[in-house]
Amino acid sequence: MSNSSVNRATFDEVMVPTYAPGDVIPVSGEGARVWDQEGNEYIDLAGGIAVTALGHSHPGVMAALQEQAAKIWHVSNVMTNEPALQLGQYLCENTFAEKAFFANSGAEANEAAFKLARRYSWDHHGDGRHEIIAFDGSFHGRTLFTVAVGGQPKYLDGFRPGPEGVRHATFNDAASVKEQISDRTCAIVVEPVQGEGGVRPADYGFLRELRRICDDNGLLLIFDEVQCGVGRTGRLYAYQDYHVEPDILTTAKALGNGFPISAMLTRADIAASFTVGTHGTTYGGNPLACAVARRVLELVNTKEVLDGVPKRQQRLSDWLEAMAEETGLFRDVRGRGLLMGAELAAPYDENTKAFVSAALEAGVLVLVAGGTVLRFAPPLNIPMPDLNEALDRLEAAWKALS
């Protein structure tokens, strides 16, 4: 029981109303389980939003934070620090990248990626070649540049004018990309698995085709792996599953397992365009965040965790397919690895919230994406008994709605 004097009503009193949080206030977590102020227990199939990939209160991650907390928290970018250098080394050794830039959120990593793409183009091709092609339904963050690039125009309502020079093409349609290319284009940005837009995986051929288009036209290919990276697909990064190498990759969410950190990764020849003074952020490369992120990567990038992903995915997708068949609740089940979506069929798609609420009541945390898709992003290491129990709870709760 919580004796706390704050509750859900406090949110309405003191918080800017950008969110509409549920009534439940989680106060502690362990592994795939979370407890609220009243002591109710939930199984977490959301992982925040694909953030806590190793579950809550992971002892190894906690130790990394505590060890670093006892040493030094901040030194500014006027000096570098050991955890940042070690994290940079780790990322360069384990991905295509030769250089890393650290920031604090997915949006900031993307902001850096978009600015770098323009700067690189400016260096190599001069003025006027600054357009970025992105995709309908994509999500890249909430800064003004990242919402302008994102494929959901309503996120710009009331904030216009946004940055110019963004074009949108149709996801999984390479021909629509070619139509947008001109001598003003500098880069293409894509989520290998669209998360917020409704859990839509890119076709394998589509990303290969984008690589070819970029090579033929001298464009940079940017993969936004903020949601689908860090083990979610069963590989450390999704591009390794697709066998398509980007020029720039952004990663955040699960990178800190709940501690804020993001990174933009790229090759040395591209990184060279971000010369001293061209970009920066106070907290980027913070020692606490970097110590946590390196431990997270070391723990995720093991056979044990990565090989456990397809097994759990199989269980989850088998269950979703069976539910679809038996109840008619879902019209499509899709995803990659442990980022799965079940698109609600009519008429259920008019009340997605009812499914989330019923899940919550039954003691399971799930997410929504793209308005009508129930999204699952459980910890990569969720114990099978926890997953089974969560699915049993959901089955009872959702069958009652069908």
Ligand X SMILES: *Cc1c(COP(=O)(O)O)cnc(C)c1O
Q: Report d(CA 164, CA 132) in Å as an integer.
A: 9
> How many residues bind ligand X, per CB under 6 A?
15
Bond before 347 cis per omega within 30 degrees: yes
* Binding flag, residue 196, ligand X (CB under 6 A): yes
Using rule CB under 6 A, residue 141 touches ligand X: yes
> How long, in residues, is the chain?
402
Give the containing element (helix H, strand E) for 297: helix 287-300
Residue in 131, 191, 209, 247 binding ligand X, rule: CB under 6 A: 191
- Assess 367 for contact with ligand X (CB under 6 A): no
Residue in 107, 342, 394, 397 binding ligand X, rule: CB under 6 A: 107
Site string for ligand X, 320-359 (x = CB under 6 A): ----------------------------------------
- Give the phi and the psi of residue 135 in degrees, each rounded to 5: -120, 145
Q: Are the CB atoms for 393 and 366 separated by under 8 Å?
A: no
Q: Please report whether residue 106 would count as binding ligand X according to CB under 6 A.
A: yes
Q: For residue 375, give both structure tokens.
A: 């999204």
What is the C-alpha to C-alpha distance for residues 104 and 195, in angstroms, rounded to an integer? Answer: 19
Out of 97, 188, 189, 226, name the contact with ligand X by CB under 6 A. Answer: 226
Nearer to ligand X, 249 or 387 (CB): 249
CA distance 132 to 219: 9
Residue 111: phi and psi, rounded to 5, are -55, -45
To ligand X, the closest distance from the beta carbon of 47 in angstroms equals 12
In the complex, least distance from residue 300 CB atom to ligand X, rounded to whole angstroms: 17
Interface with ligand X, residue 140, by CB under 6 A: yes
* 227 contributes a contact to ligand X by CB under 6 A: yes
Would you state the structure tokens that stand for residue 294, as one six-digit string?
A: 């390196």
Q: How far is the CB of 252 from ligand X (least distance, A)?
A: 5
Per the annotation, binding residues for N(2)-acetyl-L-ornithine are 142, 281
Tokens describing residue 372: 């009508």
Sequence-distant (6+) residues with CB within 8 A of 60 are 54, 295, 299
Beta-bridged to residue 133, according to DSSP, are 167, 188
Specify the residue, 263 or 397, whose C-beta has the smaller distance to ligand X.
263
Binds ligand X (CB under 6 A): choice among 55, 83, 88, 195: 195
Q: In the complex, which residue's CB is closest to ligand X?
A: 106
Rounded CA-CA distance 339/317 in Å is 10
As measured in angstroms, the least distance from the Cβ of 112 to ligand X is 12
Q: For residue 366, state whether it binds ligand X (rule: CB under 6 A).
A: no
What's the rounded Cα separation, in Å, for the pair 312 and 103? 31
| Residue 150: C-alpha distances to residues 133, 190, 395 (Å) | 10, 10, 35
CB of 110 to ligand X, least distance (A): 6
134 near ligand X, rule: CB under 6 A: no
Under rule CB under 6 A, residue 189 binds ligand X: no
Nearest to 261 by CA among 83, 13, 16: 83
What is the pattern of x (binds ligand X, CB under 6 A) and - over residues 233-262? -------------------xx---------
Segment contacting ligand X by CB under 6 A, of 35-43, 135-143, 264-272, 373-381: 135-143
Residue 105 found at the interface with ligand X (CB under 6 A): yes
In this structure, what token pair is assigned to residue 65?
């934070």
Q: Is 185 in the site for ligand X (CB under 6 A)?
A: no
**284 is a site residue for ligand X (CB under 6 A):** no
- Spell out where 60-138 has E strands: 99-103, 131-135
Q: Is 397 helix (H, G, I), strand (E, B) or coil?
A: helix
197 scored as a contact of ligand X (CB under 6 A): no
Q: How far is the CB of 200 from ligand X (least distance, A)?
A: 12
CB count, 10 Å around CB of 334?
18
Residues in the site for ligand X, rule: CB under 6 A?
A: 105-107, 110, 139-141, 191, 195-196, 224, 226-227, 252-253
